[in-house]
Structure 1
Amino acid sequence: MDFHCHLDLYPNARAVCDEASRRNEFTWLVTTSPRAYASTSKVLSRLSRVLITPGLHPELVESRASELPQLLVQMENSQAVGEVGIDGSYRFKESLPIQRKVFEAVVARSQMLGGRALSIHSRGAVKEVLPILLKHPGFGTAVLHWFSGSSSEMETAYRMGCWFSMGPAAFSSTAGRALLAKIPRDRLVPESDGPFAKENGVALPPWSMDRTAELLAPIWQCSASEAKATLLENGRRLLALMHWPTAR
């Protein structure tokens, strides 16, 4: 399983997508803009066990905010949305006001549509993201991608019902490993964030769940097979919330 992957952006995208469809029980292909979603859906919609969702990456919001109306329309026929969210890092501080506006519009639209699963980018902005989610009860299910907030923010998000998708790249720092040890095991699902996320300089493939389990095992003080079983069980519970058939 892979709950956050940019399948369409690998250099050999078609081959990687075909392999992911063959090897994974489920792959969530998040797109970075409404235009990207439209083109990717045309090319890759035939893939089984791959969910392609419309999104508007916060790093692109400043230049692509005009695509927001298109995204809100695309959401009508998609059971999930991503990648969306807010980036609070210094590089994107000037676009924070428009980022907030776009993200709140997405969450409000999700609420209006009866709920959607959202793959959410929250780097340096958990304190911006969570209040918007709280403001719109019934928005659906939040999956915080590559969560890097504080322990208290993680606890708040957990109490709100949020899930956390993490991959091998999150283990590269001491802080990342410490946070992973605190994330409740029952809400952690695997992701790769490939091809952006890398391990030893190599883009992570969408079938990296085994590697995530291997890295989790010493933190959870269990075997890699036990960690993998937990990730699979969690993933299937999340898929049930997303109304995604587990047998495809």
Structure 2
Amino acid sequence: MDSYLYDTHFHLDLFNSINDVVKEIEENKIYTIAVSNLPVLYSKLKQNISSKYIRPALGFHPELLFQYKHHIPQMWPLLHEAKYIGEVGLDFKTGKDFKELQVSFFTELIERCNQIGGKILTIHSRQSADEITSIIGASFNGKVIMHWYSGNKMTLKQAIKNGYFFSINYSMVKSNSGKELIKMIPLDKLLLETDAPFTKYDKQPFTPKDIKYIVEELSILLGIDNVRMSSILWSNFKRLIA
């Protein structure tokens, strides 16, 4: 079963003992998209991490955009080398005072990615899912993962219609609102994520090996045998990265 584990949204650089986490990823053969929060952190991650199971993602977290706006020009040259883009998006909860900057940056990012093509984006959309869906649209030249989706059902339906994927973490499968949304998502659009270290299992920060517990909870929630659930999720991941 371990060979069918993966994580589409993982903050490797936020762990204190990165080497231990990398070892865990490799021992458990967990294919991992290691997101970053700033372009400079992506470059550092890419330089320091060498593992066939880890793919660094070029990110600029929307909550950090105003404070680090002088880093924005660093983003664009790196787009050509990075297949994985994230964490990026909009946050109208904590970033409500600089919405215009967020929308301007994200719109340009999508336009550039669309022009280059072939990018895989993991998207933050807190209190901004409608705007995210509108900016990306239905004909994006790449693949979109809505990370920890928490928007309304109408926007969810539009995102599904647009062909986006949705990455599910442990907090989602344990909340009533998360369960309702998950049940609406087509099986072939479900993906796994930990969003570690921001999520916990048994009162401890999630680590890659714990992702099997998300599979178990999804199996129970959707009434699907654990083996078949794992197979579906693995098939979805293969289509994502193809």
TM-score, normalization by structure 1: 0.91
1:140-183 Cα distance to aligned partner (Å, 9 max, x none): 11110011112221111011010001111212321111111111
Q: Which runs of 5+ in 2 are unaligned?
A: 1-5
2:142 aligns with 140
CA contact (8 A) 1:7 1:206 kept: no
Distance 2:117 2:232 in 1: 29
> Is 1:151 aligned to residue 153 of structure 2?
yes
1:22 deviation in Å?
3.1
CA contact (8 A) 1:56 1:82 kept: yes
Matching residue within 51, 59, 71 for 1:55: 59
1:25 deviation in Å?
4.2
The secondary structure found in structure 1 opposite 2:166 is strand
User: Where do residues 93-132 of structure 1 align in structure 2 (5 Å cutoff)?
Assistant: 93-132=96-135
Distance 1:30 1:158 in 2: 23
CA contact (8 A) 2:30 2:208 kept: no
Number of aligned residue pairs: give it: 237
1:232 aligns with 234
Deviates more, 1:212-221 or 1:13-22: 13-22
CA contact (8 A) 2:119 2:143 kept: yes
Q: Which runs of 5+ in 1 are unaligned?
A: 241-248
1:160 aligns with 162
Matching residue within 7, 19, 26 for 1:21: 26
TM-score, normalization by structure 2: 0.93
Distance 1:21 1:75 in 2: 27
CA contact (8 A) 1:104 1:132 kept: yes
The letter for the 1-side match of 2:46 is: S
User: Where do residues 56-71 of structure 1 align in structure 2 (5 Å cutoff)?
Assistant: 56-71=60-75
1:105-136 Cα distance to aligned partner (Å, 9 max, x none): 1111101212311110011101110111028x
1:7-58 Cα distance to aligned partner (Å, 9 max, x none): 11112111102221332341000000011111111111x1112110111001
Distance 2:108 2:91 in 1: 16
With over 3 angstroms needed to count, the CA separation of the structure-2 counterparts of 1:25 and 1:236, relative to structure 1, is farther
1:231 deviation in Å?
0.9
The letter for the 1-side match of 2:143 is: T
2:12 aligns with 7
The letter for the 1-side match of 2:224 is: C
Distance 2:240 2:34 in 1: 16
The secondary structure found in structure 1 opposite 2:126 is coil
Distance 1:69 1:159 in 2: 33
The secondary structure found in structure 1 opposite 2:208 is coil
1:165-209 Cα distance to aligned partner (Å, 9 max, x none): 111121232111111111111100101000112234311112333
Q: Percent identity?
A: 28
1:190 aligns with 192
The secondary structure found in structure 2 opposite 1:186 is helix
Give the aligned CA root-mean-square deviation in angstroms.
1.4
Matching residue within 28, 42, 47 for 1:42: 47
With over 3 angstroms needed to count, the CA separation of the structure-2 counterparts of 1:80 and 1:201, relative to structure 1, is same
> Is 1:74 aligned to residue 60 of structure 2?
no
Distance 1:207 1:59 in 2: 28
1:92-112 Cα distance to aligned partner (Å, 9 max, x none): 210211111111111111012
Runs of 4+ in 1 over 4 A off after TM superposition: none
Distance 1:151 1:191 in 2: 21
